[in-house]
Structure 1
């Protein structure tokens, strides 16, 4: 049983949060493809993250990682036909696509495949204009230093 949430009241009373609300709405619509392949999401620093994904049996050529805007897609597709007759098949080799919603300014900085474990390193890179900055507070005599004059109103005698 799937419950669909209605975010319409939040859209009416909030400004600038539409991207977050759209992401919440999108996650409620996503069809879950199961937990395969298994993965971990790890925060390795203040602005650094890592995704570890178990992709046993896949080679580098059979895996694809793409980032489009704020969506990271990892997919795997086996090449060639497997004509072997299995008595028991415990290692899944089926095609998969895993989607990850990324926050703004998250970039993929590297990917590595080692012994069946795909590691994707991510970093939040805030642009300089979005980083906190200190603003000087001017004193009372700053107006005279900058050469700005106060506008005075003229009094007219009646």
Structure 2
């Protein structure tokens, strides 16, 4: 059994660390033994990318779904295109169905997905509500206190 040290992920991905711990826990319980292999990459301050190596799968074989903070990627294999039975001398490319789940951090949404050269790239973005974004607070000194401005109106009010 492999043990993966996710300490560097915890240090660099604030708000996404819960995902890493859940992925680690799920990989120990999941019988798929890490298939398909994947990367989680931080591409910006609030942008992330998940890459899955899905060689042999086409767009019609893959399904991506988010529900209640869980991103689920499903790959289904079908019969060979020409319907004939294939005989392998060595089979190194796994062509089996899979389900891979990722627990998304709060306020992380999926922006899109792309399949190119056997890699499925899923773009994620953390969208914090305005109330949760950091604000710069000015430090006030001993400046003059401004008097409230009085607006004079028409004295003849009907």
| TM-score interval for Structure 1 and Structure 2 normalised by the shorter chain | 0.5 to 0.7
TM-superposed CA distance for 1:135, in Å, is 5.1
Question: Where do residues 130-145 of structure 1 align in structure 2 (5 Å cutoff)?
Answer: 130-134=132-136, 145=148
* Alignment of 1:38 onto 2:37: yes
> Which residue is equivalent to 2:107?
105
> Which residue is equivalent to 1:78?
77
* Alignment of 1:123 onto 2:125: yes
Q: From 90, 93, 97, give the equivalent of 1:91.
A: 93
TM-superposed CA distance for 1:133, in Å, is 2.4
Name the SS for the 1:129 alignment partner: helix
TM-superposed CA distance for 1:97, in Å, is 0.4
Q: CA RMSD in A?
A: 3.1
Deviations 1:48-104 (A, max 9, x none): 111111101101011011111211111100133564232232211111000111110
Aligned length: 125
Say if 2:27 and 2:34, in contact at 8 Å, map to a contact too: no
Higher relative contact order (CA 8 A, sep 6+): 2
Rounded to whole Å, the distance in 2 between the matches of 1:46 and 1:79 is 39
Call closer, same or farther: CA 1:109–1:83 in 2, change over 3 Å: same
Rounded to whole Å, the distance in 2 between the matches of 1:87 and 1:133 is 61
Q: After TM superposition, where is structure 1 displaced by more than 3 Å over at least 4 residues in a row?
A: 26-30, 80-83, 134-142
TM-score normalized with structure 2 length: 0.65
TM-score normalized with structure 1 length: 0.65
Rounded to whole Å, the distance in 1 between the matches of 2:88 and 2:26 is 39
Call closer, same or farther: CA 1:72–1:30 in 2, change over 3 Å: farther
* Alignment of 1:68 onto 2:49: no
Runs of at least 5 residues in structure 2 that lack an aligned partner in the other structure? 2-17, 149-158
